[in-house]
Each structure stands twice: as C-alpha cells, then as structure tokens.
Chains A and B, each alone.
Chain A
Amino acid sequence: MSCPSYDWKAYALGELDANSRREAEAHAATCSACRDELAELRLTLDALSTLREEEIPRRIAFVSDKVFEPRWWQNFLKPSFAAGCMVAAAILVHAFVRPAVDEAAIQTRIDKALVQVEQRQAKQMEAVDSVLKMIDKENRFVYARNAGLVRE
C-alpha cells in the first residue's frame, strides 16, 4: 500500500510540477511501497503504449464545392477584390469631383502668352536691326577708307 499523500498516477502521467516531482522522487527513494506502486503504474503505461496506431482506411479530403465556397459577402473581404474596388472608386471620384473647365480663362491666358511672345520677338528684332546697322556703318567706313575718301 503506497503512501496516500503522493499522487503517483499524476506523477507517472507527467502532471506534477518540478517541485512536486522532486519531492515525490525523494520520498520514493526511501519507501518501497511507493516504488512498487510506481513500478506497476509504469508497467501498465508501457503496456498501453504497445497498442499500435491504426492507419486510416481512406484519406479524408474535401473538394471546393458550394458547401465550402465562401459566401458572396466574404468575397468583399479578399484583398485583391478590395484593391480593385478602391481603384475603381478612385477613378469614379476623380471623374465626378474634377473641377469644370473654364474656356474663357484659358483663352485669356493664351492671349496673354501670345502678347508676351510677340513683345519678346519685337525686342529681339530691334536688337538684330541695331546690330545690322552697326555692321552697315562699319562697311561704309571701310569702303570709304579703301577708296581714299577718308584719311586715317
């Protein structure tokens, strides 16, 4: 008869914490009745472990049918679907929220730009004209000098 204060079944089944295990082992070292109890338990558990595990006769497998397919609303939770919806929503929002085109304002801007371009071109032409006049004056001077009309 083993000592009632020690739960050898819990010990053999691995349910005791480390401290309780150590305490039980220390007791078993000095108590032959508890050692016998533990030995019988281990023998029984060893015997139980000889029972072979059976192979399953047919593998269990499921195919994708109506039972397993996600419900229609679950499709909304898929990342790819959600991303597609966001892109579509962004395009729609952009189409409706985009500010209206003001044709008159654009024409005013074009006219203003044209005036600026014409003014710039006019200035450039004046500069070119000025350069041409200087060249012409220089040519006349050279011609007159070569002809001896001008004394250096």
Chain B
Amino acid sequence: MIFREVEDRDLIGKAKRGDVEAYNLLVSRWEKRVFNYLLRLVGHREDALDLSQDVFLKAYQNLPKLDAAEKFAGWLFRIAHNEAFSLLRKRRPEGELPHEKGSSEAGRLLPMELSLAVDSALRRLSEDQREAVLLKVYQGFKFDEMAEILGCPVSTVKSRLYTALDLLKTTLSPALSLSNVRGES
C-alpha cells in the first residue's frame, strides 16, 4: 500500500504536468474500484461505465487543484459521489424521496446464492445508506475520510452506516441461516 501511494504520487505529479500516459496508468489502477462503487450505487452497468469515464475526465481537469497527492483516493471518490448523485437526482421523479426500507421489494424471498442475496439486500438500502456501506466495507475508508467524501459530519456517516448494517443483518438473516445450515451439513 505504501509503495502504491508512492507510485501514485509520482504518477499524479507527472499527470499534473500534462503527461497523459502517466494519467492513464493512474486510471488503470483505480478504474475497477471506482466502477464497482458506481455500479453498486446506481445499479446499472452502462450508467456506471459512463459515470466512471466522466469521473476520470473531471479528475484530470481538476488535478491541478489537488493540493496533496496522498488525498487522491478520497478526492477521487468525492468526484464519483457527486457524479453518481447528480445522475440519481435526474433519474428520480420530482418530489420523490429516495426509497427507504419497506419498499415494494421488501418481503420478497432472497435468492439462494449468498452473493446474490447480498446484492439484493444492498439494493434495498437507501442510496445514502448503500453508499456508506460501499465506502466503508468495500473501499475501506475511515469514518473521517467518508465524511470528507460525502460532505457531512462523521456522526451522519456513522448513523447511515449503522442503520444500513442493522437492515442488512435483518434482510440477510434468512440467507445466512440457510448458508450456515448448508455449511454444517
């Protein structure tokens, strides 16, 4: 991780001086993480891909504004967060609130495969809750880094994440019981 940071810093420096190849290398290191984050957040592959392209284009154009290379990850995900929520706002009919627990999907039987069950459970979360899980569980950011990315206090980050975990625990419990039974048999 330390080596990666050092190399990223070097690539960021070169990219700031207009080295497109260095930037492409930087993109190749981060594109999968950014794409998966956006995919889980917006739930559509083509949209996630388009957004990823936009994220890296904006990141390149704004790279001179990045004051510290070690903050690149949080800064990049902040751009991704803004792009994703810009799309989600456009998608959502005016006045409609983001769907919370108890949506029409609630109560549906979970798929047997655990990963599918997880995918389904994540989709049931509100966008804010899902994003908190994505940043913490899948991207490994700390609470304070998440607060910077999301532009909200740490207390809000914790509240969203903790609620999401409680909901996931409840939603996944049938699948987890099933997988445990399978594991024991």
Instruction: Give the interface size bracket for A toward B.
Output: 20 to 34
Q: B165, A44: Cβ atoms under 8 Å?
A: yes
A17-58 contacts to B, CB under 8 A, are 40-41, 43-45, 47-58
Given contacts A50-B115, A54-B36, 11 further A-B contacts (CB under 8 A): A13-B161, A44-B168, A47-B176, A51-B138, A53-B36, A55-B32, A56-B32, A60-B53, A62-B60, A63-B20, A74-B18
Chain B CB within 8 A of A59 CB: yes
- Cβ distance B184 to chain A, nearest Cβ, rounded Å: 14
A96 close to B (CB within 8 Å): no
Residues of B within 8 A of A15 (CB): 142-143
Tell whether, in the assembled complex, residue A70 and residue B32 are in contact, meaning their CB atoms are under 8 Å apart.
no
Contact with B along A69-94 (1 / 0, CB 8 A): 11000100110000000000000000
Select from chain A the residue with minimum beta-carbon distance to B56.
Answer: A60
Given contacts A44-B172, A51-B115, contact A62 B20 (CB under 8 A): yes
Q: Which residue of B lies closest to A9 (CB)?
A: B162
Is A70's CB under 8 angstroms from B24's CB? no
Residues B117 and A68 in contact, CB atoms below 8 Å apart? no
Beta-carbon contact of A51 and B119 below 8 Å? yes
Residue contacts A-B, CB under 8 angstroms, 6 given: A41-B169, A45-B137, A47-B168, A53-B32, A54-B39, A70-B18
B147: CB under 8 A from chain A? no
Residues of the B chain whose Cβ atoms lie less than 8 Å from the Cβ of A47: 114, 117-118, 168, 172, 175-176, 179
Q: Whose C-beta in chain B lies nearest to the C-beta of A70?
A: B18
User: A55 vs B49: C-alpha distance in the bound complex, in angstroms?
Assistant: 11
Contacts of A10 in B (CB 8 A): 158
Taken residue by residue from 160 to 185, chain B's Cβ proximity to chain A (1 for < 8 Å, 0 otherwise) reads as 01100100110010011001000000
Instruction: Give B38-57 interface residues, CB cut-off 8 Å to A.
Output: 39, 45, 49, 52-53, 56-57
Q: Is A5 part of the binding interface, using a Cβ–Cβ cutoff of 8 Å? A: no
Contacts A45-B137, A56-B32; A9 near B172 (Cβ below 8 A): no
Mask, B24-35, CB within 8 Å of A = 1, is: 100110011001
Let me know if A61 is at the binding interface, CB within 8 A. yes
Chain B: minimal CB distance from A83 (Å): 15
